[in-house]
Copies of this chain bind each other. A is one copy, B any other.
Amino acid sequence: MLRAAFEAGYETWGFNRSEAGAKAARSDGFDVRSDIEAVLGRAAESDALIVIGVPMPALDAVLTDIRTFAPQCAFTDVVSVKGPVAETVHRHELSAKYVGGHPMAGTSESGWDASTPDLFKGAAWAVSVDPDVHAEPWTRVARLALDCGAVVVPVRAAEHDRAVARISHLPHILAEALAIAGAGGGELALGLAAGSFRDGTRVAATAPELVRAICEPNAEALLEVLDDSLRVLTAARDSLRDTDSIAQLAEAGHDGRNDYDTFRRWAITGITPGDHDWLAKLAEAGRRGGVVESLD
């Protein structure tokens, strides 16, 4: 995020609670420190837009610091799940300045060395249009996303969380299960594994604590879609056992992937942040696959 914003021409500085992490960034010329008071003090002085990029369990501490050192700053986050973050922000009485965000981009690697300014190019970046969102911070957050090369998907927190349970958290769950099944076959199975196994387990290479921090806060939505998938898989198992056929699964799965392959984003135009009903209109457009591509 820091690299991408810097590359986009923003004045940037950052915080990392680990001095080693901060040092790694500094060695590449970025002003990153492990002194939260100093970093947020500078944010307060310069009316900066704060981007929170911590796993969910660390959010409370960061919000306490923002409340203390930079309570007037607009802020967003790149924490996966949006409902629980919004609730936590609300508990800290910081909602007026907050706009939730979630860039749909990442790698299975972590740490400063894994960072790249190009991560968000062409990505979808969810930006909250919940009813309590204000136009001024929304525009700043959306502009940052666009400046980083992404397109903005306007979405309400609860709908976002249900959607990402399907396309981001369930993929993690299934990848873990597949990796377990493959490794259970020993060296012979791993030696025969090719593209389908490699791709299907790619995200299982993610650090387990990060997978947990991404998926567990979205338990409710994830449980719903995981139950759906268990029903689908159980039906396929029964069909294979009883009739030697996986026809229904194979047809429906192919249709689903085809929906994905033929899906095309379309550009939302004519809705200005702050106008009457702008939040509801953007939410409705986002629901139908619309994205904000510019703010002019």
Contacts and interface: CB of A to CB of B under 8 A. Distances in A.
A162 B185 CA distance: 8
Interface stretch (A16-24, A71-79, A90-98, A189-197): A189-197
A143 interface: no
Nearest to A234: B230
A260 B190 contact: yes
Contacts of A61: none
A123 interface: yes
A254 B177 CA distance: 10
B256 A201 contact: yes
Nearest to A225: B181
- Contact size class for A? 35 or more
A177 B260 contact: no
Q: How many copies of the polypeptide does the oligomer hold?
A: 2
Most-contacted residue by chain B among A104, A164, A192 (CB, 10 A): A192
A155 interface: yes
A153 B192 contact: yes
A109 interface: no
Interface stretch (A35-43, A62-70, A240-248): A240-248
Most-contacted residue by chain B among A191, A234, A289 (CB, 10 A): A191
Contacts of A260: 179, 182-183, 190, 193, 197-198, 201
B289 A252 contact: no
Most-contacted residue by chain B among A177, A179, A251, A261 (CB, 10 A): A177
A101 interface: no
Nearest to A205: B257
Contacts of A236: 173, 176-177, 226
Given A167-B185, A167-B192, A200-B203, A176 B254 contact: yes
Nearest to A235: B177
Contact of A240 (B106, B197, B216, B228): B216
Given A166-B184, A167-B194, 6 more contacts: A163-B185, A167-B182, A167-B190, A180-B252, A193-B260, A201-B260
21 contacts: A153-B192, A163-B185, A164-B189, A164-B192, A167-B189, A167-B194, A168-B197, A173-B246, A174-B178, A175-B257, A176-B246, A180-B252, A180-B253, A183-B259, A188-B286, A191-B265, A201-B256, A211-B253, A211-B254, A216-B245, A226-B233
